[in-house]
């Protein structure tokens, strides 16, 4: 399972880097055309906005895999290993519930958005919104993987 999650995260990191490069190029073109050529491009601002949305959501899912999300463990340091495991399981369950709702409602939003097109690029807005259920599912996978590792580490070689 860890090999699959690791491969998935490598693909996600690569995709986020490609999207970031595309966003930087779109903004660079916008600046170039607006200020040097005095003929602004209409589509670059919209593209950069949608790429930033995708980078944010996918980046959040990737951040979960490398434990980069903010957290406080001050109180956990004073709990017994048994209580730490209970708190970990409850926190993981609550987070999975939230991410599950995010994925389900995001899917509904994406499907409804398929009939609406973006103003400049004429893309179905459902494509932009589809990152919500995708990242929700990826967040659940990465959270469960990280939580399983943490659960097995508690009480062990801390």
Average pLDDT of the residues in 86-90: 94
Please list, in sequence order, all residues whose beta carbon lies within 8 angstroms of the beta carbon of residue 150, skipping any fewer than 6 positions away: 88
Contacts 24+ apart (CB under 8 A), 63-66: 64/138, 64/139, 64/142, 64/143, 64/146, 65/5, 65/9, 65/12, 65/142, 65/145, 65/146, 66/9
| pLDDT score for 156 | 65
Mark residue 116 as left, alpha or beta (left: phi above 0; alpha: psi -120 to 50; beta: remaining).
Answer: beta
Over 50: is that where the pLDDT of 158 sits?
A: no
Give per-residue pLDDT as tens, 26-82.
Answer: 999 999 998 888 888 989 999 999 999 999 999 999 999 999 888 777 888 899 999
Mark residue 38 as left, alpha or beta (left: phi above 0; alpha: psi -120 to 50; beta: remaining).
Answer: left
State the CB neighbour count (10 A cutoff) for residue 1.
Answer: 9
Q: Helix or strand or coil: residue 124?
A: strand
| pLDDT score for 40 | 87
Residue burial 60-85, b: 16+ Cβ < 10 Å; e: rest: bbbebbeeeeeeeeeeeeeeeeeebb
Q: What is the chain's Cα-based Rg? A: 20
Q: 113, 53 in Cβ contact below 8 A?
A: no
Give per-residue pLDDT as tens, 101-156.
Answer: 999 999 999 999 999 999 999 999 999 999 999 999 999 999 999 999 999 998 76
How far apart (Å, rounded) are the C-alpha atoms in residues 20 and 120?
20
């Amino acid at each position: 399972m860890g090999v699959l999650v690791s491969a998935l995260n490598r693909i996600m990191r690569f995709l986020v880097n490609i999207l970031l490069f595309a966003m930087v190029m779109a903004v660079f073109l916008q600046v170039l055309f607006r200020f040097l050529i005095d003929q602004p491009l209409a589509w670059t601002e919209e593209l950069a906005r949608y790429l930033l949305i995708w980078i944010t959501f996918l980046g959040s899912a990737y951040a979960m895999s490398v434990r980069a999300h903010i957290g406080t463990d001050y109180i956990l340091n004073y709990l017994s290993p048994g209580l730490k495991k209970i708190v970990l399981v409850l926190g993981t369950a609550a987070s999975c519930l939230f991410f599950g709702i995010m994925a389900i409602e995001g899917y509904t939003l994406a499907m409804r958005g398929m009939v609406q097109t973006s103003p400049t690029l004429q893309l179905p807005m459902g494509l932009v919104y589809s990152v919500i259920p995708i990242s929700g599912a990826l967040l659940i996978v990465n959270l469960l993987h990280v939580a399983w590792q943490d659960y097995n580490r508690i009480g062990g070689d801390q």
